Amino acid sequence: MAINVEEVPGLAPELNDIRRRTARVVNEDILPVEAELTWLSRGYALDAEEREHHRRRAIVLKEEIKAKVAEAGLWAPHLPTEYGGMGLDFLSLAYMHEILAYAAGASELFGVAAPNAGNASLLVKYGTKEQKERFLIPLVEGKIESGFSMTEPDSAGSDPRSLRAEAVREGDEWVINGHKWFTSNGIAADFFIVMCRGFDQSGELGPAGQMVQIIVPTATRGVEVVRGIGIFGHEHSDHCEVVYDNVRVPVANTLGLVGEGHQAAQDRLGAGRVYHCMNSIGQMWRAFDLMMERAMGRQVHGGLLRDKQFIQGFIADSYSDLQAARLMTVQAAEKVSRGDPEARTAISAIKVFVPAAFARVVDRAIQVWGGAGVTNDLPLSRMFLSARVLRIADGPDEVHRILVAKNLLRRYEAGRPLDFAS
């Protein structure tokens, strides 16, 4: 089933146009070949030659679709036009994420996949001219790959102040030592942005012991990608464990200053959380459509699934979950885009609510599809796993719930109770 995108009354004409154009690429160019693009998931029965054939076919298809995306003026929507992007504002980008997420893996085909997209935005904001030429431009052009290396096995990722990796300045070089894991895209990456504690005793690059982000090409001596960590029963993934053992890079690779690392991570993650939620909503939308399709067509026990009250309950509950998640997320995006200081609370609230709603909607769709629901023939099982991961990545639920409660209590204690209409 194709995504049905209609004119939204009250939305700016440019935004309606972006929704419509994005949906056209999704419907005409991606959904008809979705199975071929994700051929790997079909694979055990294929012999080596067939696998290679399908792998090559997927690469060709991807390049063709990327060309169509570029032709439609929809490539790298998150980046300014001077760096080859669309230059979309925050809200437009959020709306676009929702539509493109309807098709599995589409964000890569629009040049806005994590972690490259977030890294590119960091480079736009904090990068020097040389860093932009060497890392940003080829990244946007799809010639190189990247990863973001912050979480560590031996410190709590949900408390970034506990990070242990260190960079010590020696002359014109940083010497980096640290142990990271869950550096996504770590197998393919040509460079990592590494978050560590910086010690520049000269003080030239900022106060010693504060957080700093440093660009580390993966080919640098001392960078060891130990493994692609196996997750959810799969043998391996591209979420990598990485050891940095006396890794030397020029101080010119510093992204921003020592002391700006946390802020840069927040810049990356804060906006990213809204996009991730819109992304989840696009996937919930697809799951919902799939559930409806199956309910309307599947005969069981002498009748269509659509006529069974259990299934009608699934439809009603999923509709409510989707609408609630979507309205909360659009409202949070609007708060961010108008610079509302309360946006932080709204972002944390959706960061908790949306993945849970996402999991419920996908779970019901899987149930309606029966055995087919858990196969790789449908995108549902992958969605289910990604919904679970989202309750941990970018800050686990508990941290965000605490933040929501603290912000609200602060308001009420200051004599400013909420106006839920604003």
Ligand X SMILES: Cc1cc2nc3c(=O)[nH]c(=O)nc-3n(C[C@H](O)[C@H](O)[C@H](O)COP(=O)(O)OP(=O)(O)OC[C@H]3O[C@@H](n4cnc5c(N)ncnc54)[C@H](O)[C@@H]3O)c2cc1C
Residue 81 or 162: the one with the smaller Cβ distance to ligand X is: 162
Nearer to ligand X, 364 or 400 (CB): 400
**Residues 309, 236 contacting (CB under 8 angstroms):** no
User: Which secondary structure element, helix H or strand E, spans residue 248, and what is its range?
Assistant: strand 240-250
**Residue 344 and residue 332: Cα distance in Å, rounded?**
8
326: its two tokens: 């979507």
Q: How far is the CB of 272 from ligand X (least distance, A)?
A: 11
Closest approach of ligand X to the CB of residue 388, in Å: 9
CB of 264 to ligand X, least distance (A): 13
Least CB distance from residue 158 to ligand X, whole Å? 3
Closest distance to ligand X from the beta carbon of 114 (Å): 7
Helices 90-100 and 309-337 cross at an angle (nearest 10°) of 160
Residue 259 or 396: which CB sits closer to ligand X?
396
List of residues contacting ligand X (CB under 6 A): 115, 148-151, 156-158, 182-184, 239, 389, 392-396, 398-399, 402
Return the number of the residue (92 or 149) whose C-beta is nearest ligand X: 149
Q: Which is nearer to ligand X, 7 or 398 (CB)?
A: 398
- Indicate the residue type of 199: F
Phi, psi of 196 (to 5 degrees): -150, 175
Q: Are 227 and 236 in contact (CB under 8 A)?
A: yes
Smallest gap from residue 202 Cβ to ligand X (A): 28
**Greatest extent of the chain over all pairs of C-alpha atoms, in Å:** 79
Distance CA 174, CA 137 (A): 24
CB 194 within 8 A of CB 213: yes
Residue of minimal Cβ distance to ligand X:
157
Cβ distance to ligand X smaller for residue 80 or 230 = 230
Q: How many CA atoms lie within 13 A of 127 on its CB side?
A: 19
